[in-house]
Amino acid sequence: MRRLRRAGLSTDEISGIIHQACRRRTPTMPISISEFEIRMERYLLVKRRRWPFTFETKEEFDSYVSTYIETTLDKFGLPNKNKYYGGSSITF
């Protein structure tokens, strides 16, 4: 937990990482510590570079956001400000 705090993560971010890391692949096999560390490093990398692994570049990610995400938000009259992204591509 201290390592996560030193990395500059908020309590909500830490809770999300712990939740993600504790998901079970099968009902009998919880995630290992080494897998948790890998996911944590990947999460921190994505947080620093500001786009998930499913995109090769920031520009590709920004294009996806403007083409699909912002268009969908506009279609339903939802605010475009302060968008947040999450999902399995962060810890892929």
pLDDT at 33: 82
35 and 56 both lie in a single domain: no
For the chain, the domain total comes to: 2
35 and 79 both lie in a single domain: no
> What is the maximum span of the chain, computed from C-alpha positions, in angstroms?
44
87 and 43 both lie in a single domain: no
Strand partners, 26: 29
Burial class from Cβ neighbours inside 10 Å (0-12, 13-18, 19+) for residue 90 reads: buried
| pTM for the full predicted model | 0.53
Following CA atoms 42, 34, 30, 7 in sequence, which dihedral angle do they give, to the nearest 10 degrees? -50
What pLDDT tens digit does each residue of the chain (92 aa) get?
A: 677 777 788 887 877 777 777 776 655 557 788 888 888 888 888 888 888 888 889 999 899 988 988 888 888 888 877 776 666 655 54
56 and 26 both lie in a single domain: no
Task: Give me the domain span that covers residue 26.
Answer: 1-49
44 and 82 both lie in a single domain: no
- Contact at 8 Å (CB) between 52 and 87? yes
20 and 58 both lie in a single domain: no
